[in-house]
């Protein structure tokens, strides 16, 4: 299946290696670049206030960013200027030293399935408390094969193929990450209208329920957390929520321009988890959130406005307040909370995580 290429700033694919012996007199520059790449990535200095914030943030609250490979985070996450390809390969250990960042998104798996060894290599770079929130491959979650530019080309025969999802995603992800595995997120790209209207939507929800029910309930003694993120608001219905509850999957709140605001999605989550009217709301499972994009912007617009992602530009206080409230509900429900933030949410994902932690602790 032809899948979308990673965004230009995802930097999950390593660039071509430097030539061993440049023929144009640039050997010195090549050696300097290699020496820089060999220098370990150092974490940024952390203030006493941030260390105190990390100590007061409950251990089950896992805040993190959707990637870690951004040179603009110098002084925020990283202690020096590093190339983005070096950060992609070596930055995780320094990232995990930050007292507030206890989760990280692994989106590379959306574009191409990863092996168990690749997942294990990521897990080996971080301490036991950090959790990876991993996206399922698009070859499972996209209903269509896509041509260059992302336009639909034909039906995707692997769409909602539970056997393939198990073999190429669930088993390698959980087997490689082990106890560092957070939620496994099935993010569905915008689906064709023919699948999301009327009786076709009902059939799709039933098919999705059968798909989720067929995934492994345990992998090597670990119980995976399966979460579903929509990009079609019309599917966020009581029927859809009942299906998720029936198969013990979680609704991943996708904060994105294509979906309703966080407060409206939190109401759907409450409807999904509530058992009796009037009772205090308690989550029936982990809180899973991906705060991807500031409302009103397209992806490229937000990227151009916010790069190099070193400061907050458009503070989204309503979303931040809703997420802080949901985290408190998770804490009171004795459930873990996983909130992954993108740079395109407010301008700088780690700074958004810090402000969200302050809202939770404060």
157-184: pLDDT as tens digits: 999 999 999 999 999 999 999 999 999 9
Is 9 a residue whose pLDDT tops 60?
A: no
20 or 198, which is more confident: 198
pLDDT number for residue 218: 97
pLDDT number for residue 211: 98
Predicted TM-score of the model (pTM): 0.88
324 or 145, which is more confident: 324
33 or 259, which is more confident: 259
Burial 41-74 (b: 16+ CB within 10 A, else e): bebbebeeebeebbeebeebbbbbbbbbbbbbbe
Is 210 a residue whose pLDDT tops 50?
A: yes
Assign 92 to helix, strand or coil.
helix
Q: What is the mean pLDDT of residues 65-74?
A: 96
pLDDT band per the 50, 70, 90 thresholds, residue 93: very high
Is 285 a residue whose pLDDT tops 80?
A: yes
Is 16 a residue whose pLDDT tops 80?
A: no
Contact 25, 78 (CB under 8 A): no
pLDDT number for residue 276: 61
Q: Select from 202, 205, 201, 135 the least CA-distant residue to 165.
A: 135
pLDDT band per the 50, 70, 90 thresholds, residue 38: low
pLDDT number for residue 32: 37
Burial tier of 281 (Cβ tally within 10 Å: 0-12, 13-18, 19+): middle
pLDDT band per the 50, 70, 90 thresholds, residue 275: low
pLDDT band per the 50, 70, 90 thresholds, residue 7: very low
Question: What's phi and psi for 76, nearest 5 deg?
Answer: -105, -50
pLDDT band per the 50, 70, 90 thresholds, residue 153: confident
282 or 28, which is more confident: 282
Cα–Cα distance list, 227 to 55, 267, 287 (Å): 28, 17, 10
Task: Report pLDDT digits (tens) over 101-147.
Answer: 999 999 999 999 999 999 999 999 999 999 999 999 999 999 988 77
How far is Cα 257 from Cα 317, in angstroms, rounded to an integer?
16
pLDDT band per the 50, 70, 90 thresholds, residue 277: low
∠ CA(179), CA(182), CA(183), 5° rounding?
140
pLDDT number for residue 152: 72
pLDDT number for residue 33: 43
Burial 79-95 (b: 16+ CB within 10 A, else e): eeebbbbbbbbbbbbbb
């Amino acid at each position: 299946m032809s899948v979308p290429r990673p965004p230009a700033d995802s930097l999950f694919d390593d660039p071509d290696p430097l030539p061993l012996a440049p023929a144009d007199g640039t050997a010195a520059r090549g050696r300097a670049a290699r020496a820089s790449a060999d220098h370990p990535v150092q974490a940024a200095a952390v203030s006493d206030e941030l260390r105190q914030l990390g100590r007061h943030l409950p251990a089950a609250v896992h805040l993190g960013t959707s990637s870690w490979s951004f040179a603009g985070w110098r002084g925020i996450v990283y202690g020096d200027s590093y190339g983005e390809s070096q950060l992609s390969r070596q930055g995780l250990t320094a990232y995990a030293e930050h007292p507030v960042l206890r989760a990280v998104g692994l989106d590379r798996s959306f574009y191409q399935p990863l092996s168990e060894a690749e997942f294990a290599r990521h897990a080996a770079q971080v301490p036991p408390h950090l959790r990876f929130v991993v996206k399922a491959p698009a070859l499972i979650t996209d209903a269509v094969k896509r041509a260059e530019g992302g336009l639909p080309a034909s039906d995707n025969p692997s769409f909602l193929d539970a056997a393939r999802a198990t073999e190429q995603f669930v088993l390698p992800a959980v087997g490689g990450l082990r106890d560092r595995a957070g939620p496994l997120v099935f993010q569905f790209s915008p689906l064709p209208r023919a699948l999301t209207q009327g009786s076709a939507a009902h059939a799709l929800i039933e098919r999705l329920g059968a798909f989720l029910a067929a995934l492994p309930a345990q992998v090597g003694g670990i119980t995976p957390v399966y979460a579903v993120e929509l990009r079609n608001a019309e599917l966020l219905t009581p029927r859809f929520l009942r299906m998720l509850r029936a198969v013990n999957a979680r609704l991943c709140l996708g904060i994105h321009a294509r979906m309703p605001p966080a407060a409206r999605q939190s109401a759907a989550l409450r409807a999904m988890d509530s058992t009796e009217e009037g009772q205090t709301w308690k989550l029936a499972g982990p809180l899973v959130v991906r705060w991807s994009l500031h409302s009103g912007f397209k992806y490229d617009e937000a990227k151009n406005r916010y790069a190099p992602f070193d400061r907050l530009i458009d503070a989204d206080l309503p979303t931040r307040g809703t997420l802080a409230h949901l985290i408190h509900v998770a804490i009171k429900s004795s459930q873990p909370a996983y909130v992954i933030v993108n740079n395109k949410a407010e301008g700088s994902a780690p700074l958004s995580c810090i402000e969200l932690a302050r809202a939770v602790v404060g």
